[in-house]
Amino acid sequence: MFELAEQGFSSLFEQLIACIISIRTLDEVTLPAARRLFERARTPDEIGRLSVEEVDTLIRESSFHERKAPQIKAIAQRIVDEFEEKLPCDREVLLSFAGVGPKCANLALGIACGEPFISVDIHVHRVANRWGYVSASTPERTLAALEAELPLRYWVEINRLLVPFGKHVCTGNLPRCSACPILEMCEQVGVTAHR
Ligand code: SF4
């Protein structure tokens, strides 16, 4: 999402749609799929004019694309019908769309609206708990714990930093502790084996 924003796809609508495309999907797949869709249509009105089949074809490499395509079209149409094409920076509105959960709502609001929301995916959850910075059993509880502990200025930034860190260094299985730059500061909670 941060990379797409840097490439100019920084509206709240684009960020929200890109996040839906990214769900359960690798970045290497998400980025070209989102770009392909936005090259064809990037406003609620433009996407609302596409058929579900056209949206589905454009995002076909994304996991669960057949479920995401009608959700994306429905979101676009609702924004046209209810909000005169201008999606408001309102968390409750975002969460009212089918297919949008707290992770995507918070990330899109953080990047597109500059609003301080923490987006906790499985990587942020795993890393923050291994550090010992929080102790929470689910991403939802990690979110609440981070909201209590983390200084506000890092609320958006933490996702941009910890998602790639969790994918490439503090991996789910056999984290690369021997090459980790913050080994001395980490409590390695729950780490029983590592590289
Ligand atoms: S030391 Fe290991 S467990 Fe701790 S952050 Fe680094 S890779 Fe993750």
* Angle of CA points 61, 1, 23, to nearest 5°: 45
Q: Name the amino acid, one letter, at 25.
A: T
pLDDT at 76 over 90: yes
> pTM higher than 0.85, yes or no?
no
Which H/E stretch holds residue 10? Answer: none
* Residue to mutate (ligand 1; options 174, 188, 189, 194; most atoms within 8 A of CB): 188
Average pLDDT over residues 72-99: 96
Among 176, 180, 194, residue to substitute to test ligand 1 (most atoms within 8 Å of Cβ): 180
Q: Which residues line ligand 1 (CB under 6 A)?
A: 127, 130-131, 169-170, 175-177, 180, 182-183, 186, 188, 191, 194
Digit-coded pLDDT (tens) for 109-131: 999 998 888 989 999 999 999 99
- Check whether 40 has a pLDDT greater than 90: yes
HSE-up of residue 61 (Cα within 13 Å, Cβ side) = 12
